[in-house]
Amino acid sequence: MKWIALLIIFTCISAPVFAADAPAGKMMTKIVPNQITISEYMFAPKVLNIPAGTKVTWINHDEVPHTIVDSSSSKIFRSSALDTNDSYSFTFTKPGTYHYFCTLHPQMVGTVNVAVAK
Amino acid sequence: MDFEDFKHSVSSGLPMNRRSALKCVATWAGTGVVWALVGGVPKAFAANAAGAMAAAEAGASAFSFVQISDSHVGFNKAANPEPLKTLQLAIDRVNALPAKPSFILHTGDITHLSKVEEFDTAAQVLKGLPAPVHYVPGEHDTLDEGGGKLFLERYGKGTLGNGWYSFDDHGVHFVALVNVFNLEAGHEAKLGADQLKWLADDLSAVSSSTPLVVFTHIPLWTVYEPWGWGTEDGEQAIAMFRRFGSVTVLHGHIHQVIQKIEGNITFHTARGTAYPQPEPGKAPSPGPMLVPPDQLRSYLGLTSVTTVQGGHTLALTDATLV
């Protein structure tokens, strides 16, 4: 019985330690201004709001390649295929709403809202 | 309907005699489990407990071909650091078949990133196959600057549009469809109006009694919409197949075996030779799926297809690389 109690106490102590470790292992997904992270076939943040003139960087943390391509027919921005940990940057100079997607996995979509620079 | 329900409905929707064929029937050369299905008349095959390959040896009139898929030459991540080695294993398997296949179908994603050196390496290794190879591109084969130019330069000779074509062999009509170009945001893959028009023209010259084999990269039917595992206008093509007495539609893309039978149409998706992907909806994303290294080869494989001349029987046999 004493052992079980000890085990429970040990579990209680060790659990938060493990939980604290987990986010540390996910440091790559921390929020960086004007950076869009690709993980698990998703863009994060999915919607980014920036002033005009901002350089936005996408970085791919998946084991498969992804692309970042303007969804509109004007194709103002279009990356090549980004392999794991590759990144792509584009500077948005004109205000407006820009929808984009991954041409390999078209269910992956995101938006950049560009406001007039202050 | 979740995936388990789906699998159940596929098997329970079949007549009893066919369902009896839908089971693990044999080991292949004593090295692994073969899951076999007979589309058409199953009895000769189901009765043969000696193994799937016996069907290929049934007689001189049998005609067979092999499907390999998703080689992803150039992939080097944890899910399979050596996809060339597993591709070579698949090729060795084809060479070890008791009946030499008439040809091989490669259903796309030959390369991982469409690099020249990846295409070169793949071509070099695939030369080891014992028969000619017919290709369709996967979306990973369209990542070059020219958006698929490298693939089409290499494999597009004599094809139409973005690489579609048809041919006849041993009384079977084969159609290669391409659904990895012009993908649009938020939409599934597309065949496109031009290809559908060509398909209608192509099939108009084929009698309904001719067995039809269609092969393409992304499944023509929607396997799982949230992961884009389907073709938006695939149903328009499938509608054209319905008048045929025997139709087999072969896909790749999802790196696992999934089958569906709809009337006379059997849809079949082959394993890849590079890395496995999770079952639809069973993971946060389509992967790759990391499996213990000693189990990897049981998730990779190829499909053999045997037709019996005079009948309209097609036997599909999936084999893993173990």
Q: Within this chain, do residues A17 and A2 fall inside the same structural domain, yes or no? A: yes
Structural domain includes residue B33: no
- The pLDDT of residue B212: 96
Structural domain includes residue B48: no
Which chain A residue's Cα is nearest to B74? A83
Which bin fits B308, alpha (ψ -120 to 50), beta or left (φ > 0)? beta
- The pLDDT of residue B31: 25
Distance from the Cα of B268 to chain A's closest Cα (Å) equals 21
Structural domain includes residue B245: yes
Q: At CB < 8 Å, which residues of chain B contact A?
A: 77-79, 112-114, 139-140, 143, 145, 183-189, 226-228, 284-288
Which chain B residue's Cα is nearest to A68? B185
Q: What CATH code is carried by the domain that includes residue B104?
A: 3.60.21.10
- The pLDDT of residue B228: 95
Structural domain includes residue B190: yes
Amino acid making up residue A43: F
Q: Within this chain, do residues A69 and A17 fall inside the same structural domain, yes or no? A: no
**Three-class secondary structure of residue B263 per DSSP:** coil
- The pLDDT of residue B33: 24
Sheet bearing A54-60, strands edge to edge: A42-44, A35-39, A54-60, A87-92
Number of domains making up chain A: 2
Number of domains making up chain B: 1
Q: Within this chain, do residues A21 and A54 fall inside the same structural domain, yes or no? A: no
Question: Which residues of chain A make contact with B183, given a CB cutoff of 8 A?
Answer: 103-104, 106
Question: Which residues of chain A make contact with B285, given a CB cutoff of 8 A?
Answer: 40-42, 62
Q: Within this chain, do residues A70 and A53 fall inside the same structural domain, yes or no? A: yes
Taking CB atoms within 8 Å and a gap of at least 24, the contacts of B229-233 are B229/B253, B229/B254, B229/B280, B229/B286, B230/B188, B230/B189, B231/B179, B231/B188, B231/B189, B231/B190, B231/B191, B232/B187, B232/B188, B232/B189, B232/B190, B233/B190, B233/B191, B233/B192, B233/B196
Instruction: Kindly compute the dihedral angle of the four CA atoms of residues B154, B160, B161, B166, in this order, to the nearest 10 degrees.
Output: -100
Structural domain includes residue B205: yes
- Domain range for B90: 60-320
Question: Which residues of chain B make contact with A81, given a CB cutoff of 8 A?
Answer: 113-114, 143
Interface test with B, best of A40, A63, A71 (most B CBs within 10 A): A63
Provide the pLDDT confidence category of residue A27 given band limits of 50, 70 and 90.
Answer: very low
Average pLDDT of the segment spanning A57-84: 97
Q: Within this chain, do residues A13 and A62 fall inside the same structural domain, yes or no? A: no
- The pLDDT of residue A6: 42
Over chain A, what is the mean pLDDT?
A: 83
Q: Are B256 and B270 in contact (CB under 8 A)?
A: no
Q: Within this chain, do residues A75 and A101 fall inside the same structural domain, yes or no? A: yes
Q: Within this chain, do residues A38 and A16 fall inside the same structural domain, yes or no? A: no
Structural domain includes residue B223: yes
- Using one digit for the tens of pLDDT, what is the confidence trace for A6-17? 444 343 333 333
Which chain A residue's Cα is nearest to B142? A104
- The pLDDT of residue B308: 66
- Give the phi and the psi of residue B34 in degrees, each rounded to 5: -110, 125
- Strand ranges, E, within chain B: 23-27, 33-39, 62-68, 104-106, 133-135, 165-169, 172-176, 212-215, 247-251, 258-262, 265-269, 301-308, 314-320
Q: Which of A81, A106, A107 sits opposite B113 (nearest CB)?
A: A81
Q: Are A100 and A71 in contact (CB under 8 A)?
A: yes
Distance from the Cα of B213 to chain A's closest Cα (Å) equals 26
Which chain B residue's Cα is nearest to A39? B285
What percent of chain A shows pLDDT beyond 70?
75
- The pLDDT of residue B74: 98
A28 secondary structure, DSSP code: G
Rounded to two decimals, what is the model's pTM?
0.82
Q: Within this chain, do residues A70 and A111 fall inside the same structural domain, yes or no? A: yes
Structural domain includes residue B140: yes
> CB–CB of A62 and B285 under 8 A?
yes
Q: Which stretches of chain B drop beneath a pLDDT of 70?
A: 1-62, 308-313
- The pLDDT of residue A18: 37
State the ipTM, two decimals: 0.80
- The pLDDT of residue B61: 53
Q: What CATH code is carried by the domain that includes residue A59?
A: 2.60.40.420
CA angle in degrees (0–180, nearest 5) for B282-B284-B288 = 80
Question: Which residues of chain A make contact with B228, given a CB cutoff of 8 A?
Answer: 105-107
The rounded distance, in Å, linking the Cα atoms of A52 and A30 is: 24
> CB–CB of A81 and B114 under 8 A?
yes
Question: Which residues of chain B make contact with A62, given a CB cutoff of 8 A?
Answer: 285
Q: Within this chain, do residues A41 and A73 fall inside the same structural domain, yes or no? A: yes
Which chain B residue's Cα is nearest to A72? B185
Q: Within this chain, do residues A35 and A84 fall inside the same structural domain, yes or no? A: yes
Q: Which of B114, B183, B287 sits opposite A103 (nearest CB)?
A: B183
The rounded distance, in Å, linking the Cα atoms of B262 and B243 is: 12
- Domain range for A20: 1-27
> CB–CB of A107 and B227 under 8 A?
yes
Q: Within this chain, do residues A60 and A81 fall inside the same structural domain, yes or no? A: yes
Structural domain includes residue B46: no
Structure tokens at B75: 């992939």
> CB–CB of B288 and A63 under 8 A?
yes
- Using one digit for the tens of pLDDT, what is the confidence trace for A80-112? 999 999 999 999 999 999 999 999 999 999 999
Q: Within this chain, do residues A54 and A21 fall inside the same structural domain, yes or no? A: no
Which chain A residue's Cα is nearest to B139? A104
